Structure 1
């Protein structure tokens, strides 16, 4: 299993990109939310899921661990494969999706391309217990990943890369809601983490 790829974006397509990792170009299929965070020539880290089929090995990538986790949840629903999962993540923010499932908002779910009434019902039935009643921590993390290039998303990514866990980072993001730069959030986080040791 390929957990993540880190490299330079050499090409960007509507639903995928090439990540150049030491001269090897990996085609990674991505949702729109991730694509908005990428730019040609920039270094990136994508959390990946390798879909093994008889005729192909397909790599799906996400700019945050939370998007990846939501994708894995979506593809655990019967009848939803990686392509549909990617389409759902492209059409709705993680926050709105979590809220829609928690509140059984079928009308919002059926507005997503490729999701009919039966699929929406299956999503709610199979995911409501896994997602719970829109856990506030999940919503905070999801909200941080919603805005393309938002400072919260960048800080989250940086702190995950430094080896901190989502559970450690969540309270810091909550405290840093008014922060105006990535550096400010990271300084606050490091101060918090050093105070605990």
Structure 2
């Protein structure tokens, strides 16, 4: 028999963890699938500084027990601006351990409707069912990778989110294509060097 849940949250980033904390706070049976803070831990540059202030960067739980203010009391990090990404990642993991302690670090392969429920198949083949599904898959799926560059060798083309460390580009000529925040930040990291 398949495990059954009131709600399944797909994604374990800041929004997924916050949604799960509120669902759990209502006493619902909840499953969370995803790698905790994967985008932040694996696809954001080392040493990155967040543009938001720490007091405006809280994850959300129903009783406000796990705000950044409390994290600072429990951790080695100090309040300050700008906020280093390492502090945000540590805060997110701290929040997850307390507010959403059971995250299954696997992915959902498919979601279908079956008899008024959602049937979710995980990448490992397991199936679960749920009355509701919250999609909190983050920004990774929205990386703009123009088709024109798909014909080039993978070693010559990458997206800014493919890199946590830009030191591999030291001494190389690099062209950054784009004009948004990612392009500007990537250029700054490349110019600053390791």
Q: TM-score, normalised by structure 1?
A: 0.27
Structure with more relative contact order (C-alpha pairs < 8 Å, separation 6 or more) = 2
Q: Which has the larger radius of gyration?
A: 2
